[in-house]
Chain A
Amino acid sequence: MKKVLMEGAIPPEKIGKSIANHQVKTHIGAHQIFLGQVRADVIDGKTVEAIEYTAQEQLAEETFHTIREDAFAKYDLSCMHISHSLGRVAAGQICLSVFVSSAHRDQCTEACSYLVERIKKEVPIFGKEIFEDQTHTWKENK
């Protein structure tokens, strides 16, 4: 099973490297990339400076695996790479990366959106929003 969770923010270089790695796969005609970035939300006058992610890690990895398999069955995809952060990710940094490739754009565009929606809804990941004064609140996906 491909591991999705990684410690800390997703470095922009990792995404650049992914693009480079696909240049030998010339049957691919389209990539769709979704990047989730930590937003400095202002809640009751306090600004979020980071989100600290935790997860029920085993169930999270198994759920990512199921979602991946479902997307491969539903869409005609060449490859798929998903990463999600654990631990502290500062505002402005990347916490989720979904990279989907296919021969034609319609398949990867739809698959990417499908993946992001399912990840947000179904994967047991929890986010503690830490304010600049080091108090916190808990993020909930709507």
Chain B
Amino acid sequence: MTCARAREAFVEGWGREGSGNSSVLDHAGACPACAEELRRLSSLLETVSADEVPDPGAGYWETFAARVRARTGEGTPRLRRFGTAPRLSRRAPWIPAAAAAAAILAVASFWLVATRTSVPGGGDLATLRSRLETNLESATDADRTAAADILPMMESPTDSEAWLQATWAPDEESAEESLSRVTTILSPSEGGGLPDTSGWAEGLSKEQIDALIKDLAAGEGTGSGGKPEAGTG
């Protein structure tokens, strides 16, 4: 078990049976860094879980249903048989899917070149681009929307190396999962990387993206963490 997987498994199981599963404990026993990290993580999660909601009092709960009923009128809702109701409509994507896809490609390429970081597990910029394109072709609208949701997170400084290790598992996941994870690895490194990447690529066309990637791959990116010009191509 890797350090990243041990930490993920710990969080997935936290608060339930299995949070102390033997694989995680075995790993922590042999890895002082993870043992310390899991201890701090546990402390944090326990603190959050201890954050109590002030109880509004027994009177509040006793009258709550009546107050709701008063607002609904006296009618009683009737259920149709399951399966006859229309699906709930999906919320509109935060930004158009195509723009999100373009942003992912462009930012990934820029990030890799700017930080001179190879794709974890081997590969290079072309490998990542190919993989991203394949994933995006098979991704659902929801995944593209999810990708768009993640892009703003890139404004938050995080430890990108840790995220790379924690989120990249190209041989073990579906295209959907991979797409989601790939968007996650785009977080800029603390104190450098891309300080504001959440919106700059949204309006670019595929041709512009291709040109940008070509330029970046040739080493003509800013490499300084600055925001590239949208019209590079």
Q: Do A and B come from one complex?
A: no
Interface of B with A (CB < 8 Å)? none
